[in-house]
Chain A
Amino acid sequence: MSDNPQNKVKIEARDVQVFYGEAQALHGIDLDLNANEVTALIGPSGCGKSTFLRCINRMNDVIDGCRVAGTITIDGQDVYSPEIDVVELRARVGMVFQKPNPFPKSIYDNVAYGPRIHGLAQSREQLDHIVESSLKRAGLWAEVRDRLSASGTSLSGGQQQRLCIARAIAVSPDVVLMDEPCSALDPIATAVIEELMEELRKDYTIVIVTHSMQQAARISQRTAYFHLGNVVEHGATQQIFTNPKNQQTEAYISGKIG
């Protein structure tokens, strides 16, 4: 679980502020997220962690009255610059949600959808290859190889979530955002996803929002604790959970009345 100090910064957030109408949800977030690491965002409901996550691939754009200030760069490129194609951005920055949300299509088409619209495959063989390798990387191939034409929604919850992960990585993203990806899953399916994240971080930068302290401690190399729209503490996960510097962090992770 040791975090590699050589991992370079992938995502850089500076003074990120988010307003929903009059209400300010984020009060100037400064955060560096390293490549090939899992960063866990933790904090009580309404603290702004999901809001911050959605800033990274501009999912907040679709929310009425939402305004984002400050800068977020990925590999030095400003995500909010006018030259950015949001569809391209969301291919580079994939997202997995709390509730598995496969398309009401076949397992094959769920994974093939992204590569098709982004023109990533020149032939049926290439598309087959992308679907197979994505399902393999998501740890689902062995379970579905014989029924690729079955509906994605016919799978179990844990399988559906892995299908969504396969769908996200089929378009070769740099970053995978996960918003409580295991909260609807049983412990076995959760363990499978956690094992998968450890595998995926070799190639991707992973940012996960989770309400499970144990999960954050298990899977991440770095943890950021959000409270009332601010980052209270950000550091190596091992340090945050054994010896946090901030009293508020300590109270939150220990389940104390802060």
Chain B
Amino acid sequence: MEDQHIVTAFDRDLAELNRMIAQLGGMAEQQLATATRLLDARDPAPIDALIAKDKELDALEFLLNERAIEMIAIRSPMATDLRRIIAAVKIASVLERIGDYAKNIAKRSRVIIASETNRSDSISLTRMASLVQQMLNQVLDAYATSDAESAIDVWDRDQEVDQLHTSMYRDLLQMISAQSEVAEVSSHLLFIAKNIERIGDHTTSIAEQVYFLVHGSLPSDDRPKADDSSGTNLGSQKKR
């Protein structure tokens, strides 16, 4: 914040709000990183701690909402200040949601690890996960520095995540139809891939909030969509 408020307590409140977003963002990043490492490492040990930690994200989001409501009631924020507070509330809710997806990935990973099936498709999953982690990291930096261009870059990169998801979805679907004994594990993998794809979408919504914070409007063009999995069916797979 380049300009200082005459009421310095307002600056302190806004700084505190930014600090809370940074903390919540850091926690969400860490949860996602831990969750996506589980399959590679085939080690279920961190799962319980990850699930327990999700409660901390929930609590911090709640606290941030309370602070934001207080600030709106007490400071009557206008213009950029108001947008910053509204954006923080929305971003916090998205980060909390990302935490939920990480938790769900961890729960499903436990089943996959226990099944001791050897999977060859975890490579694309790892690729997807690392892409989404980079995006999340970049968008949180973009928020901290009010960098709308960097946010838009994140927005654009979600296309690649969608493409990876669609191709993984097709592969897993074929696998299930070919070997019914792996259906359970493959279904969990499908959901994990979907969770990561959703985190990518949520990351773009943070990017939109950063853009809104800086410009006071939402980015004009529709985000390019490359996730075709919702229209995919086995019949069409077999015909090809």
Chain A residues with a Cβ under 8 A of chain B: 213-214, 217, 241-244, 250-251, 253-258
Contacts and interface: CB of A to CB of B under 8 A. Distances in A.
A254 B217 contact: no
Interface residues of B, number: 16
Tell me which of B10, B76, B80 has the highest count of chain A C-beta atoms within 10 A of its own C-beta: B80
Interface in B33-88: 76-83
Contact of A255 (B7, B82, B216): B7
B80 A250 contact: yes
Given A242-B216, A243-B216, A254 B79 contact: yes
A168 to B, nearest CB: 30
B77 to A, nearest CB: 7
Nearest to B4: A257
Contacts of B79: 241-244, 250, 253-254
B80 A254 contact: yes
A256 B7 CA distance: 8
18 contacts: A241-B78, A241-B79, A242-B78, A242-B216, A243-B79, A243-B83, A244-B79, A250-B79, A250-B80, A251-B3, A253-B78, A253-B79, A254-B5, A254-B78, A255-B7, A256-B3, A256-B5, A257-B3
Contacts of B78: 213, 217, 241-242, 253-254
Given A214-B76, A251-B3, A257-B4, A242 B10 contact: no
Interface in B212-228: 216-217
Contacts, number: 41
B5 A242 contact: no
B6 interface: yes
B5 A255 contact: yes
Contact of B81 (A214, A217, A254, A257): A254
B76 A256 contact: no
A257 B8 CA distance: 11
Given A213-B76, A214-B76, A255-B10, A242 B82 contact: yes
B168 to A, nearest CB: 41
Contacts of B217: 243
A244 B76 CA distance: 16
Nearest to A249: B79
Q: A-B pairs with the 9 shortest C-beta distances? A: A243-B216, A256-B3, A253-B78, A250-B79, A254-B81, A254-B78, A241-B78, A255-B6, A257-B4
Contacts of B77: 254
Contacts of A253: 78-79
Contacts of B5: 254-257
A133 B175 CA distance: 82
A258 B2 CA distance: 11
Interface in B10-45: 10
